[in-house]
């Protein structure tokens, strides 16, 4: 057996580096009982390396390519063209040619062959590289086959393949190419089989595309294929397309495009029996490889041949529950305004903090809401709650509920109806009985602050396993404060009063979303105060040009220590330090304990601080707050005057003023429990990093941040034993990079099906981009599409368009005049702060950052919930 050429039957599982991903899988498939694979062999990467990579000219060109970035399209095109030209001119080593000739004589040198690329970085679980290298069909004769082997080698350096590797972090010099030479099959039909539905991600739904002739017509877009869906060995859907042409192989070589007879154009490509036979083959191959597959197949002489199978890399992982029950999962990230992946330590801290039944998948958290959907009463409560925070999730859940057989329903209790009716009455009775005393909030805040100060003192005295045990115990205190019934009552009262105002003012006065204006500049909103406080810091620094200039060129996190060398430096440092003492535990994505806090990386605040210094006037913070307060008071007075004119006006005024008072006294507290949680998280993190430093010094881990890739329990054990398997950390880092590329669904089932919700809205402009109205008003301005807070380059009056905001984004809100996000609901961060600052806002807008381009002039309809693009 030669290392230059290997037949499919000669390949072994460990030979990825020799035959590439595609070749290795064909070798495995050819040995599977009942699976037909056309005969063939691989010219291994050894031949490619001997012909190409050892050449000095090639290495010089590769060095030029390595210095470029994916954005350097013109230079990539020029260097890649030179590399391809060089490879095509290189002579194939004679011993490689002899081995190819030997295998061709074995399989039939007069036969036609497909010559296909198989890279070592291809068909991997995390990157398919699909379509990056070339395939040539119906090639006849040794000379032509050798020429097309060179063409395949050269295709490793097409522009698209080079850019794909750059974006996926693959080193060009470590990726080699094998070439598959495989007997041509002249099929009656061919196509693609997905063992999981590529549209919905449902793992129990197979999807087959089929057209006449070779698959090239389908791949190149010449024809629309038939599509068949199969579930549990039953055909559940068919779409028969009009197929006007087909590509066929010619006996003398090459391919030809032929028109299909009119009476055949709308005929079904495969019979029902053939569809089910192919589905069984797909299921067998998926079971062998252990994950959903994307396969290319062809049908000839009443036989299905598999010519390629690779993992489907775009599917979102399913939470593992350990059973086969039907389940429904809701994304936690879409409710917490942080859909980025969370490192293992961050995941385990959140799991320790919550009482909800949660699972992890793809580096994100999901709540199993199946028990709630099973109970009529709990279901109604869940839909009401989720409808306020994330309407698109509610609509997706309604889709599942309408499938009567998916969730097992608990028997109806005779008290259910009475309980539902009772639930409808509880809101008003709860508000009537609620004690409208603002000192409740100040007492809750003081209690939390005292608890945090006690934790700060106590945790400093702990180390080693003792600190881990202490944190475990303190998390119980954190949970007690988060889920304190009084906490919940205060927040519920404010939300219910807002709903009451919106409902009654609309009914009585035709006034939409009146609570939005009434919620401006309320007391005790720790998050909105944070944005205004950074304006106060800007006021301190603005009079000192040297400090401003210095901050514009800062590139290290220790810059605060050097401030004192300049005029006004001590005052500036004191102002920033005071800000960080109150808010420094915050950051974008703060529910992940491993994210760098502002106290750890104060440079993250500099662009916003400098913007405030440049664009905002002195005393803007106090003036902005007072302006909002005045607008809220004026709105209250306006409503009162209009209500007085109605029948029972005085009664309506009395009820309305009480509800407004509840909103103003309590709505600000909505943001405080999370602030308390993040405070504790930061103290835990500082203690853990102190332990991590000891582990680095002992040689147990390489760097402090390695602990982020361990769960809390794993870290506890490492600190206890001073032993660590570093392979775990390496694997978790690779997984995290993979997770970063995934987009988590709002709602998914245990079948892997992703359910999407929709807004049901009428009477909107034809081109309206629809979302959820959360903060009233209409505003026009320049859209600034920003995905990372640190990249913000705002001008006063811009409209912020982003995926989501959490409290770490609040400092930007003082500069913008409108908000559009892809994720969120009525009571999520962006909505609350937008109302507090009086910013028109539409959130929960699907793909907003793609549909709205940076710099476009847009109009945001915060009252009616849509966006218009004006240019």
SS3 667: helix
> And the tokens for 619?
């005393």
* 829 in catalytic set: yes
Residues of the chain by 3-state class (helix, strand, coil), percent to 5: 50, 15, 35
CA distance to 202, 576, 682, 708, 815, per residue, from 598 (Å):
41, 11, 11, 18, 20
Residues 451 and 484: beta-carbon distance below 8 Å = no
User: Phi/psi at 864 (nearest 5 deg)?
Assistant: -105, -10
Kindly report the CA angle at 810 between 551 and 783, in degrees rounded to 5?
Answer: 90
Residues 358 and 740: beta-carbon distance below 8 Å = no
Other beta carbons within 10 angstroms of residue 845's beta carbon come to: 24
Cα separation of 501 and 527, whole Å?
24
Residues 68 and 76: beta-carbon distance below 8 Å = yes
DSSP track, 23-60: HHHHHHHHTSTT-B---EEEE-HHHHIIIIIT-HHHHH
DSSP track, 597-651: PTTT-GGGGHHHHHHHHHHSPTTHHHHHHHHHHHHHHHHHHHHHHHHHTSTTHHH
Radius of gyration of the chain (CA): 32
Q: In 3D, which of 393, 318, 298 has the Cα closest to residue 362?
A: 318
DSSP track, 790-835: GG----TT-EEEES---GGGHHHHTT-SEEEESS--TTSHHHHHHH
CA distance to 47, 60, 326, per residue, from 83 (Å):
17, 10, 53
Residues 282 and 256: beta-carbon distance below 8 Å = no
Of 148, 172, 334, 829, the catalytic one is: 829
- Which helix (H) or strand (E) covers residue 487, if one does? helix 485-509
Please give the DSSP secondary-structure letter assigned to residue 242: P
CA distance to 211, 216, 245, 259, 403, per residue, from 222 (Å):
11, 8, 7, 11, 37
Cα torsion through 760, 390, 806, 621, rounded to 10: 60
CA distance to 571, 583, 584, 674, per residue, from 578 (Å):
11, 9, 9, 20
- Which helix (H) or strand (E) covers residue 331, if one does? strand 328-331
Q: Name the residues annotated as catalytic.
A: 829
């Amino acid at each position: 057996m030669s290392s230059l050429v290997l037949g499919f039957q000669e390949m072994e599982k460990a030979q990825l580096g020799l035959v590439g991903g595609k070749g290795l899988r064909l070798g495995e498939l050819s040995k599977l009982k009942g699976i037909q694979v056309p005969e063939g062999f691989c010219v291994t990467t050894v031949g490619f390396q001997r012909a190409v990579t050892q050449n000095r000219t090639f290495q010089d060109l590769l060095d030029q390519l390595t210095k470029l970035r994916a954005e350097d399209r013109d230079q990539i095109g020029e260097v890649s063209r030179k590399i391809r030209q060089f490879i095509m001119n290189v002579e194939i080593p004679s011993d490689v040619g002899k081995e190819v000739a030997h295998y061709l004589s074995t399989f039939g040198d007069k036969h036609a062959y497909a010559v296909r690329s198989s890279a070592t970085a291809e068909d991997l679980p995390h990157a398919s590289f699909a379509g990056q290298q070339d395939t040539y069909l119906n090639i006849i004769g040794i000379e032509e086959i050798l020429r097309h082997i060179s063409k395949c080698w050269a295709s490793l350096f097409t522009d698209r393949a080079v850019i794909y590797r750059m974006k996926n972090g693959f080193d060009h010099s470590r990726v080699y190419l094998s070439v598959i030479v495989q007997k041509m099959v002249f099929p009656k039909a061919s196509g693609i089989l997905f063992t999981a539905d590529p549209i919905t991600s449902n793992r129990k739904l197979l999807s087959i595309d089929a057209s006449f002739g070779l698959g090239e017509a389908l791949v190149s877009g010449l024809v629309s294929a038939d599509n068949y869906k199969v579930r549990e060995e039953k055909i559940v859907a068919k779409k028969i397309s009009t197929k006007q042409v087909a590509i066929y192989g010619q006996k003398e070589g090459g391919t030809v495009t032929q028109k299909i007879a009119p009476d055949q154009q709308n005929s079904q490509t495969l019979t029902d029996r053939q569809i089910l036979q192919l589905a069984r083959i797909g299921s067998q191959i998926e079971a062998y490889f252990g994950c959903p597959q994307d396969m290319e197949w062809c049908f000839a002489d009443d036989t299905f041949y598999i010519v390629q199978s690779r993992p489907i890399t775009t599917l979102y992982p399913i939470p593992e529950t350990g059973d086969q029950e039907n389940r429904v999962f809701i994304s936690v990230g879409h409710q917490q305004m942080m859909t980025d992946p969370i490192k293992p330590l961050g995941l385990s801290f959140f799991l320790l903090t919550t009482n909800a039944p949660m699972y992890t998948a793809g580096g994100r958290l999901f709540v199993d809401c199946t028990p709630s959907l099973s109970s009529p009463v709990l279901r109604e409560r869940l839909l009401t709650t989720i409808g306020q925070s994330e309407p698109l999730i509610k609509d997706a859940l309604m889709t599942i509920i309408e499938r009567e057989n998916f969730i097992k329903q608990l028997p109806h209790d005779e008290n259910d109806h009475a309980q539902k009716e009772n639930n409808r009455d509880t809101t008003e009775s709860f508000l009537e009985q609620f004690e409208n005393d603002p000192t409740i909030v100040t007492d809750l805040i003081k209690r939390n602050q005292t608890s945090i100060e006690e934790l700060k003192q106590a945790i400093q005295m702990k180390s080693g396993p003792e600190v881990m045990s202490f944190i475990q115990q303190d998390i119980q205190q954190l949970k007690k404060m988060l889920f304190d019934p009084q906490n919940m009552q205060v927040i519920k009262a404010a939300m219910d009063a807002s709903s009451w105002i919106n409902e009654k003012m609309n009914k009585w006065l035709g006034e939409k979303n009146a609570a939005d204006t009434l919620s401006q500049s309320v007391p005790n909103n720790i998050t909105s105060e944070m944005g205004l406080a950074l304006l106060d810091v800007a006021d301190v620094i603005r009079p000192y040009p040297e400090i401003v200039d210095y901050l514009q060129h800062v590139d290290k996190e220790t810059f605060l220590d050097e401030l004192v060398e300049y005029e006004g430096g001590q005052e500036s440092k004191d102002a920033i330090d005071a800000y960080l003492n109150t808010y420094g535990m915050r950051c974008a994505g703060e529910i992940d304990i491993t994210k760098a806090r502002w106290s750890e990386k104060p440079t993250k605040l500099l662009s916003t601080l400098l913007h405030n210094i440049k664009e905002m006037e002195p005393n803007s913070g106090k003036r902005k707050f007072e302006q909002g307060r005045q607008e809220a008071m004026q709105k209250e007075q306006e409503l009162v005057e209009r209500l007085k004119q109605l029948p029972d006006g005085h009664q309506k005024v009395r009820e309305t003023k009480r509800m407004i008072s509840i909103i103003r006294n309590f709505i600000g507290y909505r943001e405080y429990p999370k602030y308390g949680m993040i405070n504790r998280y930061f103290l835990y993190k500082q203690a853990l990093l102190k332990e991590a430093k000891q582990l680095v010094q002992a040689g147990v881990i390489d760097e402090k941040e390695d602990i982020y890739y361990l769960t809390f329990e794993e870290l506890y054990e490492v600190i206890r034993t001073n032993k660590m398997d570093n392979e775990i950390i390496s694997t978790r880092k690779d997984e995290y990079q993979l997770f970063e590329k995934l987009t988590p669904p709002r709602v998914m089932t245990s079948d892997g099906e992703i359910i999407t919700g929709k807004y049901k809205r009428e009477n909107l402009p034809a081109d309206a981009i629809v979302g959820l109205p959360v903060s009233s008003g209409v505003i026009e301005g320049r859209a600034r599409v920003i995905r990372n807070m640190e990249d913000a380059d705002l001008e006063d009056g811009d409209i912020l368009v982003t995926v989501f905001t959490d409290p770490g984004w609040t400092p930007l809100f003082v500069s913008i005049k409108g908000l559009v996000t892809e994720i969120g609901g009525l009571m999520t961060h962006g909505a609350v702060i937008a109302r507090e600052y009086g910013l028109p806002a539409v959130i929960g807008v699907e793909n907003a950052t793609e549909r709205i381009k940076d710099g476009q002039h847009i109009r945001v309809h915060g009252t009616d919930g849509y966006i218009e693009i004006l240019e």
